Amino acid sequence: MSIRMSAVLGACALVFSSACDTTSSVDSADLSPAVVTSPLTLAPNAWQVDFTNPGTSAATAVDMPIDERVIDAIDAATTSIDIAVYGFDHPAITQAVLRAFSRGIAVRFVGHGDELATSNGLKAIQQAGVPMVLRPSTALMHHKFLVVDGHIVAFGSMNFTTYAADQNDENLVFADSAELATVFGGEFNQMFAGKFGAKKVARAVRPTVALDGGSVAVHFSLKEDIVMRLCEVLASV
């Protein structure tokens, strides 16, 4: 049979379709996140998802490698890094961005204007000269995604903040796909040109991207009706 999973991630929606073997079974214990310390390594068209595990208090939280995955991707960059994220104050991620910029990587940042006053991370990369476009405070730039070297993409619910990584229930999907990077890159380029919300130009083509195990369709607000698309997926189950 075919299984379709949908998620709303920041200001975009993801629809994943794959084949499913109905004879297999999954033990509920297998669904608990495991602590994985290996660096981010992805084959072409491969993907993985990482979760935070904050526990019920600071004492019971588990330090998951989700923020280290982001740092791995940034440190491995050889040509370009585009970051679109609402919250940005994670010290180690900030330092990774500064390292990349200092070694000549073309770094660009899109964020939300109100965050600049309180975010040490935003202030640090702005002072370093990282090209930055911030959406005015009339509405939110609520994306959380990263595109590296035109083929590595990270996207999901997690802001690049210590609070998100250590205290919130969050997720990030990491994928190695030039086609998926082109999709997110198009969204980034519009915002970097100052086109937010209703000012964005609707995409004429909304491709489905093949990844290992299935395919992914990405939809962006506001020019695309994410709610209607999710309703269509739910109605088809």
The answer to whether position 29 is within a domain reads no
| Domain assignment of residue 50, yes or no | yes
User: What is the rounded CA–CA span in Å between residue 4 and residue 27?
Assistant: 20
Structural domain contains residue 24: no
Domain span including residue 133: 2-18+41-235
106 and 187 Cβ atoms separated by less than 8 Å: no
Let me know if 144 is a catalytic residue.
yes
What residue has token string 């006053």? 117
Question: Known catalytic residue: 223?
Answer: no
> Is 23 inside any structural domain?
no
Question: Catalytic one among 90, 112, 143, 144?
Answer: 144
We report the CATH number of the domain holding residue 78 as 3.30.870.10
The number of residues in the chain equals 237
228 belongs to a structural domain: yes
The predicted structure's pLDDT at residue 21:
44
Residues 6+ apart with CB under 8 A from 15: 4, 5, 6, 216, 217, 218, 219, 229, 233
- The answer to whether 149 is a known catalytic residue is yes
- Write phi, then psi, for 189 (nearest 5 degrees): -60, -35
Res 57: pLDDT: 63
Domain count across the chain: 1
Task: Please indicate, yes or no, if residue 51 is contained in any of the structural domains.
Answer: yes
Q: What was the pLDDT predicted at 237?
A: 84
Q: Which of 63, 114, 123, 149 is catalytic?
A: 149
Q: What is the pLDDT along the chain (237 residues), one digit of tens a residue?
A: 444 545 545 556 555 565 544 333 334 334 343 444 467 889 999 999 999 988 666 666 677 789 999 999 999 999 999 999 999 999 999 999 999 999 999 999 999 999 999 999 999 999 999 999 999 988 899 999 999 999 999 999 999 999 999 889 999 999 999 999 999 999 999 999 999 988 999 888 788 899 998 888 898 887 777 788 888 888 988
In contact, 3 and 26? CB cutoff 8 Å: no
pLDDT, position 28: 38
One of 63, 114, 123, 142 is an active-site residue; which one?
A: 142
